[in-house]
Amino acid sequence: MKKFKTQKLVRATWPLLFFKTQRREYQKSNLSSNSNHSCAPLRATGAFAGKKGHKIEMKVKHKDHVWNQWLAGLVDADGCFLISKGGQLSCEVTTHCEDEPMLREIQKTLGGSVKPRAGSKSVRWRLTHKAGMRDLCTRVNGLIRFNIRLKQFEKVCACLNLTCLPPAKLCKNSGYIAGLWDGDGSITLSVQKSSASHSVLPKDYGKMTRLIYSRGHHQLTIMIDSSDKTLLESCKTALNLGSIITKNPSDDPKHRHPKVHYRLYWRGFDEVNLWKSYLRNVKAGRSVKHRRTFLVHDYFELKAQKAHLAEENSALWKRWRNFCHVWYNIPK
C-alpha cells in the first residue's frame, strides 16, 4: 500500500519537476550565450517568464514615479533650489532632526550630504554635484508646483540646458500631496480648555497632561499650511476632501508665518479615514507624522467608548491616559 502511494505521488509531481529543470537549463543557456557575461538581471523573455517579468518592471517604474512625486512635494514644502555667485547649483531640504531617516533615504537615492544644523533641532540634506542635480531635476521636472519654488527650478533648469515642464493636473493617486504634508503638514490633538495648573506645564509633558484631563474639549485635525492658496485648492480638488481657511498673523502672533497664509484641513471620522486610505494607496511618506496616523483608529475607538469622559483611575480612563502617552511618545 505504501509503495502504491509513493508511485502515485511521483506521477503527480514529475511534470512540475520537469518544468523547473527545463527552466533552469534555459536560463543557463542564456547566460552562456551572453558574450559580455554582465551581472545585469535577466529580463523576462521567452515562454517561461514573459508577462510576469513585464508586470514587475511596470510596478518598479510606477513606484519610482510615485517616489519622485513625493520628493517634489517635499522640496516644495521644505526645500529650495540655489545658484551661487560662482554658478554652482544646489538643492537643500531642511527638516526636524526626528526626520533624519527620511533625508537619509533621499541621500541613498540621489547622493549628497546630511548634516545637523547648528543652534536648532534640524537636519539638512544638500546636493551640489552636477550629475546629481541633473538626475534630481529630471525626476521632479513637471512636478514642482509651489510658485516660489517653480521660479527657482526654472533658473536651475536653464543652467542645465533642460526644458522646464509646467505641472500637470494633480490626481488622487499622486504622491505629491504626501510629500507636501511631510514637509508643511501636521496632525494634532488640540485642547480648547484646561485648568490653570495644567496650562502652565511646559513642552510635550504639558500638552499630554492637558489632553488627558481635557474631557470633551479636544479636536483631532490634519492640516497643510502654505502661502500659495492655488496649490492648496488643487490638493483639495484632487483628494475631494477638506476645507481651506485664511490665517492672518494677527490671529496667532506666535505662529512661524509672519505673512498671510492658508490652511487646508480635515477633521472627523470620514475625512480622516479618506486621508489614511490615500496614504495607504500611494505608499509614500516617511516622516514621523505617519506614526500618529496609525493611532487615529485607537483615538476614534476610545472616543466612541467615551474613555475621555470616564471616571478617573477606572480601567477605561487608564486606557485613555495610556493613549495620550503614546500620542506624545512619552514613557509612563
Distance from CA of residue 13 to its chain's centroid?
46
Element at 114 (helix H, strand E): strand 113-116
Distance CA 308, CA 311 (A): 9
The hierarchical CATH code for the domain 184-327 is: 3.10.28.10
Q: Look at residue 286 in the predicted model and tell me its pLDDT.
A: 77
Average pLDDT per consecutive 10 residues, the chain (332 residues; last block may be shorter): 44 42 43 35 34 42 84 96 95 95 95 93 95 96 96 96 94 94 95 92 94 94 95 95 88 65 94 93 83 92 96 96 95 86
Distance (Å) of CA 59 to CA 10, 64, 172, 175: 38, 9, 18, 15
Q: Look at residue 253 in the predicted model and tell me its pLDDT.
A: 57
Q: Look at residue 255 in the predicted model and tell me its pLDDT.
A: 57
Q: Look at residue 210 in the predicted model and tell me its pLDDT.
A: 96
Query: At the fourth CATH level, which superfamily is domain 59-159?
Result: Homing endonucleases (3.10.28.10)
Sheet with strand 218-226: strands edge to edge = 185-191, 218-226, 261-266, 243-247
Enumerate the CATH 3.10.28.10 domain ranges in the chain, comma separated: 59-159, 184-327
Q: Rounded to the nearest 10 degrees, how much is the dihedral formed by the CA atoms of 322, 324, 326, 331?
A: -70
Distance from CA of residue 240 to its chain's centroid?
19
